[in-house]
A and B are shown apart, each in its own frame.
Chain A
Amino acid sequence: MLLKLAWRNVFRQKRRTILTLLTMTGGFFLSSLSIGWMDGSYSSIIMFFTNNRTGQIQVHCKGYLQSPSIYSTVNDYQAAGVFLDSIPGVRAWAPRIYSGALLAVRPRGAGSGNVFTNSAAASVIGIDPVMEEAASGFSSQIESGEMLSSSAADTSYSATGQIILGKELSIILEASAGDSLVMLTQAADGSSADRMYVIRGIVSTGNANIDRNTCYITLSDAQILFALQGKVHEIAVMTGSLGAVDELTAKISAGLSGENLETDSWKTFAREFYNGMKADEASLKVMIFVIVLVAAMGVLNTILMMVLERRREFGVMKAIGTRPGFIVRMIVLEANIMGIISVIAGGILSTAGLLFLSEHGFAMDPPLDYGGTVFREMIASITPECYWIPAICVIITASTVSFLPALKAAHTKAAKTLRTV
């Protein structure tokens, strides 16, 4: 009967109830979409970042992340790789060598003398062309020229090597595919090294900061050049999805624990990025809070009006012996009935909205620039959070906002409100 009373009371003032339901449903919808969109944006940004470059998990020599040094190496990367291949959930892995060098370009047709036009310092990354391709799809980012292939330089120090330049670096050097350059660097054994390279291709990773100062040579070449035979600095591990990262990190860490190695997830090695994401999550919370607040005002207004209009009824209820608790429960229940209807309606609407946004995305205008990587379109993802967070907000709002008016109604003075004059 309490439920029956509450239910019918909700639909007494149809217009006002519908307005209130719209407010609450709208609040649900907006919160839900914000969450889905934010989740989706992060997932796609993180996946973009990690798939293109860093991987979701990285294995290094202990301490490498804090102070990268040419001497801090993963010494038996092949063995680590065998272990990684045995773990389900590891999609691919790529060994890399990181160092620095000075590049000086000799344009085509300049003969073989020591005529250099432009020079620049750059990070040199040694990559295994086949494994890198499997892990990050490197060749798809090549803008002109071709991907690295194995060459004579992989086995002979004196042979000419192949190099790929980042796009902005190639602009600085005024070099293009087919040009030659000389690389001056220092090997791990302390000897100075220099070698001739032919520019094989130009790469654009989508991150201008990286492309401004990075060049790529083959891993075997790098091992010879830097005197790091059989060693690498980093193994980037690609997983299928973000969800499994923490668990996989723990698994890999446990499996490689004896080797003076360290396994980290993107949350650690891309800490700035992760923190930025956390900060954005805080702003999402503020936004949801504001949405809830606006909806709460609407609901409070409705409940207050309703309580005022029905004072006489509450007076009768009190006169004939209804206890205050009954009236409180009735009104809070009325608010929650509206809340539940809004959650259902909001859930349906949000699902439609999220499905649309997860298919069609949301054009970013102006495009979003995350540390040099530009995102033009964001896609929403549908997660449980898109539903339970707004649902809890709606129900808590309905309950809190109705409680005080309910108390007021419950303490209506029967003698006063029943007077007809």
Chain B
Amino acid sequence: MTDNDVIVAEGVVKTYDDSGVPVHAIRGIDYTLAKGEFTAIIGPSGSGKTTFLNVLAGLDTPTEGEVWLSGKLISDMSGKELSDFRRDHIGFIFQAYNLFPVLTAEENVEYVMLLQGIPPGERHERVMAILKKVGIAEYAGRLPMQLSGGQQQRVAVARAMVSRPSLVIADEPTANLDSKTSGALLDMMRRLNEETGVTFLFSTHDEIVMKRARKIVVLRDGKIDGKASLEDC
């Protein structure tokens, strides 16, 4: 492990208990994600992408193995430390956008900074800057239901980025979007990656998304398939 690694995972196993029946979602993964990467985790449905991302993000605990985030061992952190760590170091983008329906685009983005205790003036500035960057500054005052899926996902990207995290994790961010919108969203994310150097790790089974990734990790039956190529998916 070097200072340059955002994520280091060793021997990660995740076994779910489905009413007594063990479900082996992750079957032993060693993985390192370096700073600045723009990596896609691909694999068929049920291959363990979501489970793997959740474990890497500290949302779920592995059954076996260790995960280090920016050099810190997740299993050493208390619930509160982990929560604060996610708040300050990880941005999340979800498949279903998951914006707060009662908050406007602007307020949704502002929310994380509120948790961080950033003063209102700075919050407003940063919100407007990031909304401009993702191209929806003019919709700042709209509620999520007044925005299209693509626009909502841009707000979600802004929410994930505004706290200046070292890592953005996105689980199938384009699954609910059409191909044109998906391409545009990925282009924008890639641009943000290049401009800010923030590391992106996202899962997908969408070819449009894969094409824009700089690195691809293939998951199959809970394991990284080292030999697989793009065409296998």
Contacts and interface: CB of A to CB of B under 8 A. Distances in A.
B54 A8 contact: no
B87 A12 contact: no
Interface stretch (A299-307, A321-329, A364-372): A321-329
Interface string B54-97: 10010110000000000000000000100111111011101110
- The interface centre, meaning the residue of B57, B98, B111 with most chain A CB atoms within 10 A of its CB, is B98
Interface string A305-319: 000000011001011
B101 A319 contact: no
B102 interface: yes
Given A12-B101, A12-B102, A414-B59, A319 B86 contact: yes
A415 B100 CA distance: 17
Nearest to A9: B102
Contact of B60 (A5, A321, A415): A415
Interface in B90-136: 90-92, 94-96, 98, 100-103, 107, 110-112, 114-115
Interface of B: 50, 54, 57, 59-60, 80, 83-88, 90-92, 94-96, 98, 100-103, 107, 110-112, 114-115, 159
Contacts of B95: 420
Interface residues on A, range: 20 to 34
Nearest to B143: A8
A5 B108 CA distance: 10
B115 A418 contact: no
Contact of A316 (B50, B98, B102): B98
- The interface centre, meaning the residue of A1, A4, A12, A321 with most chain B CB atoms within 10 A of its CB, is A321
B100 A313 contact: yes
A14 to B, nearest CB: 13
A320 B60 contact: no
Contact of B111 (A1, A12, A419): A1
Given A319-B57, A418-B94, 9 more contacts: A8-B102, A313-B98, A320-B111, A321-B84, A321-B85, A321-B88, A323-B83, A323-B84, A418-B59
Given A316-B94, A323-B80, A5 B115 contact: no
A207 B91 CA distance: 82
Contacts of A313: 98, 100-101
Per DSSP, are chain A's interface residues mostly helix, strand or loop, or mixed? helix
A1 B88 contact: no
Contacts of B59: 319, 414-415, 418
Contact of B114 (A1, A319, A414): A1
B87 A320 contact: yes
17 contacts: A1-B107, A1-B111, A9-B102, A12-B101, A313-B101, A316-B98, A318-B83, A320-B91, A320-B92, A320-B111, A321-B87, A322-B115, A323-B115, A415-B54, A415-B59, A418-B94, A419-B50
B115 A8 contact: no
B107 A319 contact: no
Contact of B103 (A5, A318, A326, A420): A5
